Amino acid sequence: MMSKAVEIFEVGPRDGLQNEPAFISSEDKIALTQALAGAGLRRIECASFVSPKWVPQMADAAQVVEGVTPGAAQLYALAPNNRGLQAALATPVGGLCVFIAATEGFSRANTNISLAGAVERVQDVIATFRAEAPEGVRLRGYISCVTECPYDGPVAPSEVARLAELLHGAGCDEISLGDTIGTAYPEQVARMLEAVVRVVPAEALAGHYHDTAGRALANIDVSLDYGLRIFDASIAGLGGCPYAPGAKGNVDTELVYAHLIARGYDISGAPDRAGLAQAARLARKILGRTEGAIDAI
């Protein structure tokens, strides 16, 4: 019998905010992260240690990580290369994230590097992490476009499985599988997971589903059937990807929470609905949006 314990991994402060055109202050980013931690979310991705030239919104990554009250939650940050990794490890992060795309087209659009080059780079970053990261810091790997790519079309489940096995074998504690353009059908997710769980344990996998076509919750349901118990979500549905046309954002944390509770699952950290609603209001206030305006992202 599969466990009824699940976890929501919050990505709003990083994935949700990184593409906002107007710079959001460090104080506001810290306040949002604190609100999410106060709501009971145990793990929060709050920063990205990338070049400010490419992602200006994340220029204050170190200030944000260092500004959150220690112990409020386990903070994660994205590190695309060794320079970012070194900068992140100089802060009190609890987890680092690396990423790779499942297709040639998205890899070149997103990072200006071939898929083979991206594989080589991520392996190098993981090797450095394993050699230099303090004990207790966890490593998370992202795979983008696990069912379909905006440039290359449908993605073979075997390719996703190959990359997931590579990341897991290299040292990632957890691998998040991303429906980056948010158009996957449950049947596509099932075919992908059928291949992936053969090579990586389900407990080491997370589902990262954008809700562009309104099927994120259905894809979570399929993932639950395959044994996944970790799901990424973004408060107020914030986010999107500039290299995935039409992808309006990650699935809303409040929607995922309500859906999992309705299905009888126990959510790690016991986040409360009132706290999540308060964090969502803060997110909208920070971005100058009114209730419901998030749908237009």
Active site residues: 241
93: exposed, middle or buried (Cβ count in 10 Å: 0-12, 13-18, 19+): buried
CA–CA distance, 250 with 16 (Å, rounded to integer): 8
The angle subtended at Cα 123 by Cα 189 and Cα 90, nearest 5°, is 105
Kindly state the tokens that stand for 83. Answer: 């320079």
Nearest to 12 by CA among 280, 256, 285: 280
Kindly state the tokens that stand for 262. Answer: 């309705």
| 61: Cα separation from own chain's centroid | 16
Residue 3 CB neighbour total at 10 angstroms: 10
* Single-letter residue type at 211: D
Helical H segments across 133-272, by residue range: 157-170, 186-196, 216-225, 253-262
Nearest to 95 by CA among 27, 171, 3: 171
- What is 40-59 written as a DSSP string? T-SEEEEEE---TTT-GGGT
Residue 168 CB neighbour total at 10 angstroms: 19
CA–CA distance, 221 with 227 (Å, rounded to integer): 10
CA neighbours closer than 13 Å in the CB half-sphere of residue 68: 32
